[in-house]
Amino acid sequence: MKSKNINLLLVSFLLVWGSSFAQTANKDSLAKRHEEMMAIIMTQPKVPIKTIGILVYDGYNTLDAMGPYHTLAEIMGTKTFFIAKQKGMIKNQRGLQMKVDTSFTEVKNLDILVIPGGAVETFMQTKDTATLNWIKQIDKTTTYTTSVCTGAWILGATGLLQGKTATTNWYRAEEMLNSYGAKFKQERWVRDGKYWTSAGVTAGIDMSLAIIDELMGKKYTEGVMLDLEYNPKPPYNAGTPESSEKIVADMMKEMYDMALFPLIQKQIKK
Amino acid sequence: MKSKNINLLLVSFLLVWGSSFAQTANKDSLAKRHEEMMAIIMTQPKVPIKTIGILVYDGYNTLDAMGPYHTLAEIMGTKTFFIAKQKGMIKNQRGLQMKVDTSFTEVKNLDILVIPGGAVETFMQTKDTATLNWIKQIDKTTTYTTSVCTGAWILGATGLLQGKTATTNWYRAEEMLNSYGAKFKQERWVRDGKYWTSAGVTAGIDMSLAIIDELMGKKYTEGVMLDLEYNPKPPYNAGTPESSEKIVADMMKEMYDMALFPLIQKQIKK
Protein backbone atom coordinates (compact mmCIF):
# COMPACT_ATOMS: atom_id res chain seq x y z
CA MET A 1 0.00 0.00 0.00
CA LYS A 2 2.86 2.26 0.85
CA SER A 3 4.44 1.92 -2.53
CA LYS A 4 1.01 2.09 -4.13
CA ASN A 5 0.33 5.32 -2.27
CA ILE A 6 3.68 6.65 -3.26
CA ASN A 7 3.01 5.64 -6.83
CA LEU A 8 -0.39 7.29 -6.72
CA LEU A 9 1.16 10.39 -5.27
CA LEU A 10 3.85 10.34 -7.91
CA VAL A 11 1.32 9.77 -10.68
CA SER A 12 -0.87 12.53 -9.26
CA PHE A 13 2.10 14.80 -8.97
CA LEU A 14 3.23 14.00 -12.47
CA LEU A 15 -0.26 14.57 -13.81
CA VAL A 16 -0.62 17.88 -12.00
CA TRP A 17 2.90 18.95 -12.81
CA GLY A 18 2.55 17.75 -16.37
CA SER A 19 -0.70 19.56 -16.87
CA SER A 20 0.58 22.67 -15.15
CA PHE A 21 3.73 22.46 -17.28
CA ALA A 22 1.61 22.13 -20.38
CA GLN A 23 -0.48 25.06 -19.23
CA THR A 24 2.60 27.11 -18.56
CA ALA A 25 4.05 26.22 -21.91
CA ASN A 26 0.74 27.10 -23.53
CA LYS A 27 0.47 30.26 -21.47
CA ASP A 28 4.00 31.20 -22.41
CA SER A 29 3.36 30.67 -26.08
CA LEU A 30 0.04 32.47 -25.83
CA ALA A 31 1.71 35.30 -23.93
CA LYS A 32 4.46 35.45 -26.51
CA ARG A 33 1.92 35.50 -29.33
CA HIS A 34 -0.04 38.21 -27.57
CA GLU A 35 3.14 40.19 -27.05
CA GLU A 36 4.03 39.88 -30.73
CA MET A 37 0.57 41.07 -31.73
CA MET A 38 0.68 43.97 -29.30
CA ALA A 39 4.08 44.94 -30.68
CA ILE A 40 2.53 45.23 -34.15
CA ILE A 41 -0.60 47.03 -32.99
CA MET A 42 1.36 49.44 -30.81
CA THR A 43 3.99 50.21 -33.47
CA GLN A 44 5.04 53.81 -33.08
CA PRO A 45 5.63 55.72 -36.32
CA LYS A 46 9.30 56.43 -37.08
CA VAL A 47 8.39 60.11 -36.84
CA PRO A 48 5.47 61.14 -34.60
CA ILE A 49 2.33 61.55 -36.69
CA LYS A 50 -0.68 63.03 -34.94
CA THR A 51 -2.59 65.01 -37.55
CA ILE A 52 -3.35 64.14 -41.17
CA GLY A 53 -5.25 66.81 -43.09
CA ILE A 54 -6.87 66.34 -46.48
CA LEU A 55 -7.47 69.56 -48.38
CA VAL A 56 -10.78 69.56 -50.27
CA TYR A 57 -12.52 72.04 -52.55
CA ASP A 58 -15.65 71.92 -54.69
CA GLY A 59 -14.93 69.57 -57.58
CA TYR A 60 -12.32 67.37 -55.84
CA ASN A 61 -12.21 63.87 -57.26
CA THR A 62 -13.88 61.39 -54.87
CA LEU A 63 -11.34 58.58 -54.69
CA ASP A 64 -8.36 60.98 -54.85
CA ALA A 65 -9.49 62.11 -51.40
CA MET A 66 -11.28 59.04 -50.01
CA GLY A 67 -8.50 56.54 -50.80
CA PRO A 68 -5.83 58.29 -48.69
CA TYR A 69 -8.44 59.34 -46.09
CA HIS A 70 -9.50 55.75 -45.48
CA THR A 71 -5.98 54.35 -45.67
CA LEU A 72 -3.94 56.90 -43.70
CA ALA A 73 -6.54 56.98 -40.91
CA GLU A 74 -5.36 53.45 -40.11
CA ILE A 75 -2.26 54.87 -38.46
CA MET A 76 -3.36 54.52 -34.85
CA GLY A 77 -3.39 57.56 -32.61
CA THR A 78 -3.78 60.04 -35.44
CA LYS A 79 -6.59 62.41 -36.29
CA THR A 80 -7.39 62.25 -40.02
CA PHE A 81 -9.72 64.99 -41.19
CA PHE A 82 -10.83 67.16 -44.10
CA ILE A 83 -9.97 70.83 -44.40
CA ALA A 84 -11.44 73.43 -46.75
CA LYS A 85 -10.94 77.14 -47.28
CA GLN A 86 -14.29 77.64 -45.56
CA LYS A 87 -15.94 74.97 -43.48
CA GLY A 88 -19.36 73.68 -44.44
CA MET A 89 -20.60 71.57 -47.31
CA ILE A 90 -18.03 70.69 -49.96
CA LYS A 91 -19.02 69.02 -53.23
CA ASN A 92 -17.12 66.27 -55.01
CA GLN A 93 -16.79 66.26 -58.82
CA ARG A 94 -20.32 64.88 -59.12
CA GLY A 95 -22.04 67.17 -56.63
CA LEU A 96 -22.09 64.88 -53.59
CA GLN A 97 -21.86 67.03 -50.48
CA MET A 98 -19.81 66.22 -47.41
CA LYS A 99 -19.57 68.24 -44.24
CA VAL A 100 -16.12 69.68 -43.64
CA ASP A 101 -15.64 70.84 -40.05
CA THR A 102 -12.27 72.57 -40.35
CA SER A 103 -11.32 75.72 -42.23
CA PHE A 104 -7.87 76.97 -43.30
CA THR A 105 -7.73 79.51 -40.47
CA GLU A 106 -8.19 76.78 -37.86
CA VAL A 107 -5.17 74.77 -39.01
CA LYS A 108 -1.72 76.09 -38.24
CA ASN A 109 0.21 72.84 -38.60
CA LEU A 110 -0.13 69.27 -39.82
CA ASP A 111 2.04 66.19 -39.75
CA ILE A 112 0.78 65.02 -43.13
CA LEU A 113 -0.97 67.16 -45.74
CA VAL A 114 -2.78 65.46 -48.63
CA ILE A 115 -3.82 67.42 -51.73
CA PRO A 116 -6.27 65.52 -53.94
CA GLY A 117 -6.85 66.34 -57.59
CA GLY A 118 -9.74 66.66 -59.99
CA ALA A 119 -10.22 68.39 -63.33
CA VAL A 120 -11.19 72.00 -64.13
CA GLU A 121 -11.76 72.95 -60.47
CA THR A 122 -8.33 71.62 -59.58
CA PHE A 123 -6.69 73.85 -62.14
CA MET A 124 -8.67 76.79 -60.71
CA GLN A 125 -7.08 76.08 -57.32
CA THR A 126 -3.65 76.59 -58.89
CA LYS A 127 -4.67 80.24 -59.35
CA ASP A 128 -6.11 80.68 -55.84
CA THR A 129 -3.56 82.66 -53.85
CA ALA A 130 -5.22 82.02 -50.48
CA THR A 131 -5.06 78.26 -51.03
CA LEU A 132 -1.46 78.35 -52.27
CA ASN A 133 -0.37 80.51 -49.34
CA TRP A 134 -2.07 78.25 -46.82
CA ILE A 135 -0.35 75.20 -48.32
CA LYS A 136 3.03 76.96 -48.13
CA GLN A 137 2.47 77.87 -44.47
CA ILE A 138 1.35 74.36 -43.53
CA ASP A 139 4.20 72.81 -45.50
CA LYS A 140 6.65 74.48 -43.12
CA THR A 141 5.23 72.31 -40.33
CA THR A 142 4.67 68.98 -42.08
CA THR A 143 6.61 65.76 -41.93
CA TYR A 144 5.19 64.89 -45.35
CA THR A 145 3.44 67.05 -47.91
CA THR A 146 1.65 64.89 -50.46
CA SER A 147 -0.53 65.07 -53.53
CA VAL A 148 -2.72 62.63 -55.41
CA CYS A 149 -3.38 62.78 -59.16
CA THR A 150 -3.68 66.37 -60.47
CA GLY A 151 -3.37 67.54 -56.85
CA ALA A 152 0.29 67.84 -57.92
CA TRP A 153 -0.78 70.79 -60.11
CA ILE A 154 -1.84 72.67 -56.96
CA LEU A 155 1.28 71.60 -55.08
CA GLY A 156 3.35 72.58 -58.12
CA ALA A 157 1.72 76.01 -58.29
CA THR A 158 2.93 76.76 -54.75
CA GLY A 159 6.49 76.43 -56.03
CA LEU A 160 7.25 73.67 -53.54
CA LEU A 161 7.99 71.12 -56.27
CA GLN A 162 10.65 73.36 -57.86
CA GLY A 163 13.64 71.11 -58.65
CA LYS A 164 11.90 68.06 -57.19
CA THR A 165 11.10 64.75 -58.83
CA ALA A 166 7.37 64.09 -58.82
CA THR A 167 4.49 62.34 -60.52
CA THR A 168 0.85 63.16 -61.26
CA ASN A 169 -2.11 61.92 -63.30
CA TRP A 170 -0.94 60.54 -66.69
CA TYR A 171 -2.65 63.36 -68.62
CA ARG A 172 0.03 65.74 -69.96
CA ALA A 173 1.96 64.82 -66.83
CA GLU A 174 5.41 65.80 -67.98
CA GLU A 175 4.31 69.10 -69.53
CA MET A 176 2.40 70.09 -66.41
CA LEU A 177 5.10 69.14 -63.91
CA ASN A 178 7.82 70.76 -66.02
CA SER A 179 5.79 73.95 -66.07
CA TYR A 180 6.11 74.01 -62.27
CA GLY A 181 9.84 73.35 -62.38
CA ALA A 182 9.50 69.72 -61.32
CA LYS A 183 10.97 66.65 -63.00
CA PHE A 184 8.36 64.08 -64.00
CA LYS A 185 8.98 60.46 -63.14
CA GLN A 186 6.51 57.90 -64.41
CA GLU A 187 5.87 55.86 -61.28
CA ARG A 188 2.85 54.86 -59.23
CA TRP A 189 4.16 57.27 -56.62
CA VAL A 190 7.34 59.26 -56.15
CA ARG A 191 9.02 60.41 -52.97
CA ASP A 192 11.48 63.27 -53.04
CA GLY A 193 12.46 64.20 -49.51
CA LYS A 194 9.30 65.13 -47.63
CA TYR A 195 7.26 65.40 -50.85
CA TRP A 196 5.23 62.39 -51.90
CA THR A 197 3.24 62.59 -55.13
CA SER A 198 1.10 59.87 -56.67
CA ALA A 199 -0.22 59.08 -60.13
CA GLY A 200 -3.97 59.36 -60.81
CA VAL A 201 -6.90 58.63 -58.50
CA THR A 202 -6.40 55.05 -57.22
CA ALA A 203 -2.63 55.58 -56.96
CA GLY A 204 -3.38 57.56 -53.81
CA ILE A 205 -4.12 54.26 -52.04
CA ASP A 206 -0.74 52.82 -53.04
CA MET A 207 1.05 56.00 -51.98
CA SER A 208 -0.74 55.96 -48.63
CA LEU A 209 0.29 52.36 -48.04
CA ALA A 210 3.86 53.25 -48.96
CA ILE A 211 3.78 56.08 -46.40
CA ILE A 212 2.43 53.67 -43.77
CA ASP A 213 5.14 51.18 -44.71
CA GLU A 214 7.80 53.86 -44.34
CA LEU A 215 6.45 54.95 -40.95
CA MET A 216 5.24 51.66 -39.45
CA GLY A 217 6.99 48.79 -41.26
CA LYS A 218 5.86 45.66 -43.05
CA LYS A 219 3.73 43.90 -40.43
CA TYR A 220 1.65 46.95 -39.62
CA THR A 221 1.21 47.68 -43.33
CA GLU A 222 0.05 44.12 -43.97
CA GLY A 223 -2.48 44.61 -41.16
CA VAL A 224 -3.83 47.70 -42.91
CA MET A 225 -3.90 45.87 -46.25
CA LEU A 226 -5.92 43.08 -44.64
CA ASP A 227 -8.30 45.62 -43.13
CA LEU A 228 -8.78 47.00 -46.66
CA GLU A 229 -8.64 43.49 -48.14
CA TYR A 230 -6.24 45.11 -50.58
CA ASN A 231 -5.29 42.36 -52.98
CA PRO A 232 -6.39 43.98 -56.22
CA LYS A 233 -7.48 41.99 -59.26
CA PRO A 234 -8.06 44.45 -62.12
CA PRO A 235 -9.98 42.95 -65.04
CA TYR A 236 -7.23 43.91 -67.52
CA ASN A 237 -3.60 44.85 -67.43
CA ALA A 238 -4.49 48.45 -68.19
CA GLY A 239 -4.95 51.71 -66.29
CA THR A 240 -1.97 53.53 -67.82
CA PRO A 241 -1.76 55.01 -71.33
CA GLU A 242 1.00 52.52 -72.22
CA SER A 243 -0.86 49.44 -71.03
CA SER A 244 -4.23 50.42 -72.55
CA GLU A 245 -5.27 49.73 -76.14
CA LYS A 246 -3.90 52.63 -78.17
CA ILE A 247 -7.32 53.79 -79.37
CA VAL A 248 -8.53 53.90 -75.74
CA ALA A 249 -5.52 55.90 -74.55
CA ASP A 250 -5.90 58.31 -77.50
CA MET A 251 -9.63 58.67 -76.87
CA MET A 252 -9.15 59.45 -73.18
CA LYS A 253 -6.45 61.99 -73.96
CA GLU A 254 -8.69 63.70 -76.53
CA MET A 255 -11.57 63.77 -74.06
CA TYR A 256 -9.35 65.27 -71.36
CA ASP A 257 -8.00 67.74 -73.90
CA MET A 258 -11.50 68.87 -74.81
CA ALA A 259 -12.21 69.62 -71.16
CA LEU A 260 -8.83 70.89 -70.02
CA PHE A 261 -6.52 71.89 -72.84
CA PRO A 262 -7.95 75.38 -73.46
CA LEU A 263 -7.49 76.01 -69.74
CA ILE A 264 -3.98 74.63 -69.21
CA GLN A 265 -2.56 75.65 -72.58
CA LYS A 266 -1.04 78.87 -71.21
CA GLN A 267 0.44 77.04 -68.24
CA ILE A 268 2.17 74.48 -70.46
CA LYS A 269 3.53 77.14 -72.82
CA LYS A 270 5.06 79.13 -69.99
CA MET B 1 6.95 75.76 -124.34
CA LYS B 2 3.97 73.62 -125.11
CA SER B 3 5.52 70.56 -123.64
CA LYS B 4 6.89 72.66 -120.82
CA ASN B 5 3.38 73.96 -120.16
CA ILE B 6 1.98 70.50 -120.35
CA ASN B 7 4.62 69.30 -117.96
CA LEU B 8 3.90 72.17 -115.59
CA LEU B 9 0.23 71.39 -115.79
CA LEU B 10 0.93 67.74 -115.19
CA VAL B 11 3.22 68.52 -112.30
CA SER B 12 0.66 70.95 -110.85
CA PHE B 13 -2.06 68.40 -111.30
CA LEU B 14 -0.01 65.69 -109.71
CA LEU B 15 0.91 67.99 -106.86
CA VAL B 16 -2.68 69.04 -106.26
CA TRP B 17 -4.04 65.55 -106.78
CA GLY B 18 -1.30 64.10 -104.63
CA SER B 19 -1.89 66.53 -101.83
CA SER B 20 -5.67 66.19 -102.08
CA PHE B 21 -5.24 62.41 -102.09
CA ALA B 22 -3.07 62.63 -99.04
CA GLN B 23 -5.60 64.91 -97.38
CA THR B 24 -8.43 62.56 -98.21
CA ALA B 25 -6.48 59.61 -96.92
CA ASN B 26 -5.70 61.56 -93.76
CA LYS B 27 -9.30 62.73 -93.48
CA ASP B 28 -10.52 59.20 -93.95
CA SER B 29 -8.19 57.81 -91.35
CA LEU B 30 -9.06 60.64 -88.97
CA ALA B 31 -12.74 60.06 -89.58
CA LYS B 32 -12.26 56.34 -89.02
CA ARG B 33 -10.36 57.01 -85.81
CA HIS B 34 -13.04 59.40 -84.63
CA GLU B 35 -15.71 56.84 -85.47
CA GLU B 36 -13.86 54.18 -83.52
CA MET B 37 -13.58 56.48 -80.49
CA MET B 38 -17.23 57.45 -80.68
CA ALA B 39 -18.16 53.77 -80.85
CA ILE B 40 -16.35 53.22 -77.55
CA ILE B 41 -17.71 56.34 -75.86
CA MET B 42 -21.25 55.65 -77.02
CA THR B 43 -21.22 51.95 -76.07
CA GLN B 44 -24.67 50.98 -74.91
CA PRO B 45 -24.83 48.60 -71.95
CA LYS B 46 -25.91 45.04 -72.84
CA VAL B 47 -28.90 45.65 -70.59
CA PRO B 48 -30.18 49.22 -70.15
CA ILE B 49 -28.78 50.71 -66.95
CA LYS B 50 -30.20 54.05 -65.90
CA THR B 51 -30.15 54.09 -62.08
CA ILE B 52 -27.46 52.87 -59.70
CA GLY B 53 -28.32 53.22 -56.01
CA ILE B 54 -25.89 52.80 -53.14
CA LEU B 55 -27.53 52.03 -49.81
CA VAL B 56 -25.85 53.80 -46.89
CA TYR B 57 -26.41 53.84 -43.14
CA ASP B 58 -24.54 55.33 -40.20
CA GLY B 59 -21.31 53.37 -39.83
CA TYR B 60 -20.93 52.30 -43.47
CA ASN B 61 -17.31 51.74 -44.43
CA THR B 62 -16.00 54.63 -46.58
CA LEU B 63 -14.32 52.80 -49.45
CA ASP B 64 -16.95 50.02 -49.52
CA ALA B 65 -19.32 52.72 -50.73
CA MET B 66 -17.02 55.22 -52.46
CA GLY B 67 -15.17 52.66 -54.62
CA PRO B 68 -18.30 51.41 -56.44
CA TYR B 69 -19.85 54.91 -56.38
CA HIS B 70 -16.87 56.42 -58.20
CA THR B 71 -16.42 53.47 -60.56
CA LEU B 72 -20.00 52.61 -61.55
CA ALA B 73 -20.82 56.28 -62.15
CA GLU B 74 -18.52 56.01 -65.17
CA ILE B 75 -21.24 54.16 -67.07
CA MET B 76 -22.48 57.04 -69.20
CA GLY B 77 -26.12 58.00 -69.09
CA THR B 78 -26.73 56.63 -65.63
CA LYS B 79 -27.64 58.34 -62.38
CA THR B 80 -25.51 57.04 -59.52
CA PHE B 81 -26.70 58.15 -56.09
CA PHE B 82 -26.84 57.34 -52.40
CA ILE B 83 -29.98 56.14 -50.65
CA ALA B 84 -30.67 55.90 -46.91
CA LYS B 85 -33.64 54.91 -44.81
CA GLN B 86 -34.15 58.60 -44.09
CA LYS B 87 -32.53 61.31 -46.13
CA GLY B 88 -30.20 63.80 -44.49
CA MET B 89 -26.73 63.47 -43.02
CA ILE B 90 -25.28 59.95 -42.95
CA LYS B 91 -22.04 59.19 -41.11
CA ASN B 92 -19.31 56.88 -42.30
CA GLN B 93 -17.50 54.56 -39.84
CA ARG B 94 -15.38 57.48 -38.64
CA GLY B 95 -18.13 60.06 -38.27
CA LEU B 96 -17.68 61.92 -41.57
CA GLN B 97 -21.07 63.20 -42.67
CA MET B 98 -22.36 63.20 -46.22
CA LYS B 99 -25.67 64.52 -47.44
CA VAL B 100 -27.97 61.83 -48.77
CA ASP B 101 -30.82 63.25 -50.85
CA THR B 102 -32.90 60.11 -51.38
CA SER B 103 -34.84 58.04 -48.86
CA PHE B 104 -36.17 54.47 -49.14
CA THR B 105 -39.73 55.66 -49.79
CA GLU B 106 -38.59 57.66 -52.82
CA VAL B 107 -37.03 54.67 -54.59
CA LYS B 108 -39.32 52.06 -56.10
CA ASN B 109 -36.86 50.53 -58.55
CA LEU B 110 -33.18 50.45 -59.45
CA ASP B 111 -31.12 48.92 -62.22
CA ILE B 112 -28.18 48.27 -59.90
CA LEU B 113 -28.30 48.18 -56.10
CA VAL B 114 -25.03 48.29 -54.14
CA ILE B 115 -24.94 47.35 -50.45
CA PRO B 116 -21.68 48.38 -48.74
CA GLY B 117 -20.45 46.85 -45.50
CA GLY B 118 -18.89 47.95 -42.27
CA ALA B 119 -18.60 46.43 -38.81
CA VAL B 120 -21.01 46.54 -35.85
CA GLU B 121 -23.48 48.89 -37.57
CA THR B 122 -23.59 46.59 -40.59
CA PHE B 123 -24.59 43.67 -38.43
CA MET B 124 -27.29 45.86 -36.87
CA GLN B 125 -28.72 46.39 -40.36
CA THR B 126 -29.18 42.61 -40.69
CA LYS B 127 -31.80 42.94 -37.91
CA ASP B 128 -33.54 45.97 -39.40
CA THR B 129 -36.77 44.74 -40.96
CA ALA B 130 -37.52 47.98 -42.81
CA THR B 131 -34.11 47.87 -44.50
CA LEU B 132 -34.40 44.18 -45.38
CA ASN B 133 -37.92 44.64 -46.78
CA TRP B 134 -36.86 47.61 -48.88
CA ILE B 135 -33.95 45.61 -50.33
CA LYS B 136 -36.29 42.73 -51.18
CA GLN B 137 -38.71 45.07 -52.94
CA ILE B 138 -35.98 46.80 -54.90
CA ASP B 139 -34.36 43.49 -55.77
CA LYS B 140 -37.49 42.55 -57.72
CA THR B 141 -36.70 45.44 -60.10
CA THR B 142 -32.91 45.23 -60.41
CA THR B 143 -30.74 43.95 -63.19
CA TYR B 144 -28.00 43.39 -60.62
CA THR B 145 -28.16 43.31 -56.83
CA THR B 146 -24.69 43.63 -55.36
CA SER B 147 -22.83 43.80 -52.07
CA VAL B 148 -19.36 44.85 -51.02
CA CYS B 149 -17.50 43.39 -48.03
CA THR B 150 -19.80 42.63 -45.08
CA GLY B 151 -22.62 44.22 -47.07
CA ALA B 152 -23.19 40.54 -47.96
CA TRP B 153 -24.36 40.03 -44.37
CA ILE B 154 -27.24 42.44 -45.00
CA LEU B 155 -27.98 40.92 -48.40
CA GLY B 156 -27.79 37.46 -46.80
CA ALA B 157 -30.21 38.47 -44.05
CA THR B 158 -32.86 39.28 -46.67
CA GLY B 159 -32.77 35.62 -47.73
CA LEU B 160 -31.85 36.55 -51.28
CA LEU B 161 -28.53 34.67 -51.13
CA GLN B 162 -30.24 31.39 -50.16
CA GLY B 163 -28.67 28.67 -52.29
CA LYS B 164 -26.42 31.16 -54.06
CA THR B 165 -22.64 31.22 -54.31
CA ALA B 166 -21.23 34.42 -52.85
CA THR B 167 -18.27 36.07 -51.18
CA THR B 168 -17.75 38.67 -48.47
CA ASN B 169 -15.04 40.17 -46.27
CA TRP B 170 -12.49 37.48 -45.25
CA TYR B 171 -13.52 37.67 -41.57
CA ARG B 172 -15.49 34.49 -40.69
CA ALA B 173 -16.68 34.63 -44.29
CA GLU B 174 -17.73 31.02 -44.66
CA GLU B 175 -19.51 30.85 -41.29
CA MET B 176 -21.43 34.05 -41.96
CA LEU B 177 -22.48 33.18 -45.52
CA ASN B 178 -23.42 29.64 -44.54
CA SER B 179 -25.61 31.06 -41.79
CA TYR B 180 -27.59 32.82 -44.53
CA GLY B 181 -27.84 29.69 -46.64
CA ALA B 182 -25.23 30.83 -49.16
CA LYS B 183 -22.18 28.94 -50.34
CA PHE B 184 -18.91 30.81 -49.76
CA LYS B 185 -16.44 31.04 -52.60
CA GLN B 186 -13.09 32.64 -51.89
CA GLU B 187 -12.77 35.02 -54.80
CA ARG B 188 -12.24 38.74 -55.29
CA TRP B 189 -15.85 38.85 -56.43
CA VAL B 190 -18.47 36.26 -57.25
CA ARG B 191 -21.39 36.45 -59.65
CA ASP B 192 -24.33 34.10 -59.29
CA GLY B 193 -27.06 35.11 -61.71
CA LYS B 194 -28.03 38.67 -60.93
CA TYR B 195 -26.22 38.65 -57.57
CA TRP B 196 -22.71 40.05 -57.47
CA THR B 197 -20.82 39.99 -54.15
CA SER B 198 -17.30 41.18 -53.49
CA ALA B 199 -14.64 40.50 -50.89
CA GLY B 200 -13.66 43.26 -48.43
CA VAL B 201 -13.52 47.02 -48.99
CA THR B 202 -11.26 47.60 -52.03
CA ALA B 203 -12.69 44.51 -53.78
CA GLY B 204 -15.73 46.67 -54.50
CA ILE B 205 -13.65 48.50 -57.13
CA ASP B 206 -12.72 45.24 -58.87
CA MET B 207 -16.33 44.04 -58.77
CA SER B 208 -17.54 47.36 -60.23
CA LEU B 209 -15.03 47.10 -63.06
CA ALA B 210 -16.14 43.52 -63.71
CA ILE B 211 -19.75 44.73 -63.91
CA ILE B 212 -18.71 47.47 -66.35
CA ASP B 213 -16.78 44.90 -68.36
CA GLU B 214 -19.83 42.63 -68.49
CA LEU B 215 -22.09 45.50 -69.58
CA MET B 216 -19.79 47.58 -71.77
CA GLY B 217 -16.90 45.37 -72.90
CA LYS B 218 -13.12 45.63 -72.82
CA LYS B 219 -12.42 48.95 -74.52
CA TYR B 220 -14.93 50.89 -72.42
CA THR B 221 -13.61 49.22 -69.25
CA GLU B 222 -10.04 50.14 -70.18
CA GLY B 223 -11.26 53.73 -70.59
CA VAL B 224 -12.67 53.67 -67.08
CA MET B 225 -9.47 52.10 -65.72
CA LEU B 226 -7.47 54.88 -67.35
CA ASP B 227 -9.78 57.50 -65.86
CA LEU B 228 -9.11 55.91 -62.44
CA GLU B 229 -5.46 55.27 -63.38
CA TYR B 230 -6.19 51.82 -62.00
CA ASN B 231 -2.91 49.97 -62.30
CA PRO B 232 -2.45 49.03 -58.65
CA LYS B 233 0.98 48.48 -57.09
CA PRO B 234 0.44 47.23 -53.53
CA PRO B 235 3.58 47.39 -51.37
CA TYR B 236 3.36 43.68 -50.50
CA ASN B 237 1.68 40.60 -51.85
CA ALA B 238 -0.77 40.65 -48.95
CA GLY B 239 -4.32 41.79 -48.29
CA THR B 240 -5.80 38.31 -47.73
CA PRO B 241 -5.37 36.14 -44.61
CA GLU B 242 -3.49 33.55 -46.68
CA SER B 243 -1.04 35.99 -48.24
CA SER B 244 -0.34 37.95 -45.01
CA GLU B 245 2.22 36.95 -42.40
CA LYS B 246 0.45 34.48 -40.12
CA ILE B 247 0.85 36.63 -37.00
CA VAL B 248 -0.73 39.57 -38.85
CA ALA B 249 -3.70 37.51 -40.08
CA ASP B 250 -4.20 36.06 -36.57
CA MET B 251 -3.95 39.51 -35.00
CA MET B 252 -6.51 41.01 -37.35
CA LYS B 253 -8.89 38.12 -36.79
CA GLU B 254 -8.55 38.50 -32.99
CA MET B 255 -9.16 42.23 -33.26
CA TYR B 256 -12.25 41.69 -35.39
CA ASP B 257 -13.39 38.97 -32.98
CA MET B 258 -13.10 41.35 -30.04
CA ALA B 259 -15.35 43.83 -31.81
CA LEU B 260 -17.74 41.48 -33.57
CA PHE B 261 -17.74 37.95 -32.22
CA PRO B 262 -20.04 38.55 -29.22
CA LEU B 263 -22.49 40.10 -31.65
CA ILE B 264 -22.40 37.55 -34.48
CA GLN B 265 -21.94 34.45 -32.29
CA LYS B 266 -25.66 33.64 -32.27
CA GLN B 267 -25.91 34.14 -36.03
CA ILE B 268 -23.08 31.71 -36.70
CA LYS B 269 -24.48 29.08 -34.32
CA LYS B 270 -27.91 29.16 -35.96
**In chain A, where the domains are located:** 51-227
Task: Compute the Cα dihedral for B54, B57, B62, B63 and give only its sign.
Answer: negative
Quick one: pLDDT at residue A269?
A: 84
Which of A221, A223, A232 lies at the smallest CB-CB distance from B202?
Answer: A232
Given pLDDT bands bounded at 50, 70 and 90, which one contains residue A9? very low
Quick one: pLDDT at residue A23?
A: 52
Quick one: pLDDT at residue B9?
A: 46
Tell me the whole-structure pTM to 2 decimals.
Answer: 0.89
Quick one: pLDDT at residue A32?
A: 86
Query: Chain A residues with CB inside 8 Å of B241's CB?
Result: 226
**Best to test chain B binding among A226, A236, A252, A255 (most B CBs inside 10 Å):** A226
Residue B63 at interface with chain A, using a CB cutoff of 8 Å: yes
The 10s digit of each residue's pLDDT in A176-204 is 999 999 999 999 999 999 999 999 999 99
Please check the confidence at residue A268 and state whether its pLDDT lies above 60: yes
Q: Kindly state the average pLDDT of the residues B67-82.
A: 96
Of residues A22 and A55, more confidently modeled = A55
Quick one: pLDDT at residue B23?
A: 52
Please check the confidence at residue A16 and state whether its pLDDT lies above 70: no
Residue A85 CA to residue A247 CA, distance in Å, equals 40
Q: Kindly state the average pLDDT of the residues A164-169.
A: 98
Given pLDDT bands bounded at 50, 70 and 90, which one contains residue B129? very high
Q: Kindly state the average pLDDT of the residues B23-40.
A: 78
Given pLDDT bands bounded at 50, 70 and 90, which one contains residue B10? very low
Q: Are strands A97-100 and A88-91 parallel, antiparallel or unpaired?
A: antiparallel
Quick one: pLDDT at residue B24?
A: 54
Query: Distance (Å) from the C-alpha of residue A247 to the closest C-alpha of chain B?
Result: 7
Quick one: pLDDT at residue A31?
A: 83
Query: Chain A residues with CB inside 8 Å of B199's CB?
Result: 229, 231
Please check the confidence at residue B224 and state whether its pLDDT lies above 60: yes
Please check the confidence at residue B2 and state whether its pLDDT lies above 70: no
**Best to test chain B binding among A196, A205, A231, A253 (most B CBs inside 10 Å):** A231
Quick one: pLDDT at residue A253?
A: 94
Query: Chain B residues with CB inside 8 Å of A238's CB?
Result: 221-222, 225-226, 230-231
Given pLDDT bands bounded at 50, 70 and 90, which one contains residue B34? confident
Residue B252 at interface with chain A, using a CB cutoff of 8 Å: yes
Query: Chain A residues with CB inside 8 Å of B245's CB?
Result: 218-219, 222
Given pLDDT bands bounded at 50, 70 and 90, which one contains residue B13? very low
Q: State the fold for domain B51-227.
A: Rossmann fold (3.40.50)
Query: Distance (Å) from the C-alpha of residue B99 to the closest C-alpha of chain A?
Result: 5
Query: Distance (Å) from the C-alpha of residue B217 to the closest C-alpha of chain A?
Result: 11
